[in-house]
Amino acid sequence: MKTMWFLLKSNSIEIFGIDLINTDDFYTLILRFVLNIVIIWIAARHLYYPKTLRKDYVFTYLMLGTVVFFMCFLLANVKLQLGFALGLFAVFGIIRYRTNPIPIKEMTYLFLIIAISLINAISSKKVSYAELIFSNLGLILVAYVLEKGLFIKHLSQKVVVYEKIELITPERRAELIEDLKQRTGLDIKSVEIGKVDFVRDIAWIIIHYPSESFIDFTEIDSENNN
């Protein structure tokens, strides 16, 4: 009862012309956020991840989905000039093509930082402080949970230069993985076949293994040098 009274009272409190909380919009934000995060979690974690075991992309999909949701919800009533909107997207094009390639995770954090700054800077007065605080905390919490890997087993990856190319065929994939396990000492979960050089009889293979079984090496060259 006291909580309801506090919410009703807070609904009429303004700070610098902005509502402390707008209960209708705030509850709508929470419900839509829960729906959004559940759906993209199912898509990324249970549809995409079991097939690829790429945690970095799961992180990216969930973070981008969360960022876009908050930006669209909170900035829906903000009138942006066309030049400003195009310039915002051009930033990523410049970074992508004018500098050395940036890893997907770093690019995701860059987008996250830009989005948080944008939300906090240009949200209209129709957005209450409660919605802003919830959005900021929601973005940070999602990033924290994904970074800790609380619901996703982290797999690292390395490139292996491999000489037994007769084992790279799909029907001999189990033999390939077993041979790589014995040579590297890693608990390899899956492999991807990259570049194949039939002249030199070698192939570049990407191996995926749990991070706890990490060995400090940058590349394993399994080619026998006589």
Please give the helix or strand (H or E) that residue 105 lies within, else none. Answer: helix 104-122
Position 85 confidence tier, pLDDT thresholds 50, 70, 90: low
Of all residues in the chain, the percent with pLDDT exceeding 70 is 68
CA distances from 36 to 14, 31, 39, 42, 68 (A): 29, 9, 5, 10, 10
Residue 188 and residue 177 in contact, taking contact as beta carbons nearer than 8 Å:
yes
190-199 b/e (C-beta count within 10 Å ≥ 16 → b): bbebeeeeee
Angle at which helices 82-98 and 104-122 cross, to 10°: 160
Tokens read off for 102: 């940036």
CA distances from 128 to 13, 38, 47, 148, 221 (A): 10, 25, 36, 30, 58
Q: Is 186 exposed, middle or buried (0-12, 13-18, 19+ CB in 10 A)?
A: buried
Contacts of residue 29, defined as CB under 8 A and 6 or more positions apart, other chains included, come to 73, 131, 134, 135
Length of the chain measured in residues: 226
Q: Is the pLDDT reported for residue 6 higher than 70?
A: no
Of 186 and 5, the one with more pLDDT: 186
Of all residues in the chain, the percent with pLDDT exceeding 90 is 13
| pTM, full prediction | 0.64
How far apart CA 19 and CA 128 sit, in angstroms, is 5
How far apart CA 222 and CA 226 sit, in angstroms, is 12
Q: Report angle CA 177, 179, 185 to the nearest 5 degrees.
A: 90
Q: Could you read off the pLDDT of 94-140 as tens digits, one per residue?
A: 555 555 666 778 888 888 888 888 888 877 677 788 888 999 999 99
